Amino acid sequence: MTDTNTFETTQVGSAERSAQLRKFMQTAQPSGRERTFGEDEIIVSKTDTRGTLTYVNPVFLRLADLEEREAIGAPHSVIRHPDMPRGVFKLLWDRIQSGQEVFAYVVNMARNGDHYWVLAHVTPTFDAAGRITGYHSNRRAPDRAALAEVQAIYARMRQVEATAGAKQAAADASVAALTSMLADQGLTYDQFIFSR
């Protein structure tokens, strides 16, 4: 019997390993098991401007259950969990591509389908001329009390996305729904994040 959550790397080049990993992670199924990490630990990753991983620290590799040679060169989205709304990533990318930092609650998925929640802080990296050359992300263990509210908001965003049509339309509608939900509470997105 084939274990659908097993990925075996072969003796191939970096680009092919990344392609294999990306294909595998697109078909991996969530296990429903949660992984946690210490409050004193930080998951660190760096990407180029297209989101391709250029650096990951040992905590990243342990939580994602990846080897460094698999992760480097792969898109950051290889650890994307299907429960993450597209709208959150649209908000994130819009912010960092405009040169701003952003904080976001994110649920990631390990190689075997386990999930782990993080509070991500993503910042652009600039060269001497002020051009964005990549992105740097530090992720810490989230406040557990905030997750129930975040999960309810993300579930509503996914419902909106499911009926909004194509990917871009779904992401736009999802961000609009998020903004509306928070406005009903008298909060902007940043106020919501920093009040939890």
Query: Which pTM was predicted?
Result: 0.87
Per residue in 11-37, pLDDT tens? 445 667 667 777 777 778 999 999 999
Is residue 157 a contact partner of residue 88, using CB atoms and an 8 Å limit?
yes
State the pairing for strand pair 43-47/53-56: antiparallel
Per residue in 36-73, pLDDT tens? 999 999 999 999 999 999 999 999 999 999 999 999 99
Q: Closest Cα partner for 119 from 192, 32, 26?
A: 192
Q: Which two tokens stand for residue 122?
A: 């993503």
Sequence-ordered alpha helix ranges (H) in 72-143: 86-97
SS3 category, 24 = helix
Position 3 pLDDT exceeds 70: no
How distant is the alpha carbon of residue 52 from its chain centre? 13
Is residue 115 a contact partner of residue 30, using CB atoms and an 8 Å limit?
yes
Is residue 114 a contact partner of residue 31, using CB atoms and an 8 Å limit?
yes
- Locus of tokens 């990951």: 56
- Separation between Cα atoms, residue 112 and residue 33, nearest integer Å: 10
Taking residue 84's Cβ as centre, other Cβ atoms within 10 Å add up to 20
Position 175 pLDDT exceeds 90: yes
Residue 108 dihedral angles phi and psi, to the nearest 5°:
-105, 165
Is residue 83 a contact partner of residue 108, using CB atoms and an 8 Å limit?
no
Taking residue 174's Cβ as centre, other Cβ atoms within 10 Å add up to 26
Output the pLDDT for position 21. Answer: 73
Q: Which two tokens stand for residue 2?
A: 């084939």
How distant is the alpha carbon of residue 35 from its chain centre? 15
Which residues are registered as beta bridge partners of 34? 115
Per residue in 113-132, pLDDT tens? 999 999 999 999 999 999 99
Per residue in 133-170, pLDDT tens? 999 999 999 999 999 999 999 999 999 999 998 999 99
DSSP state of 112: T
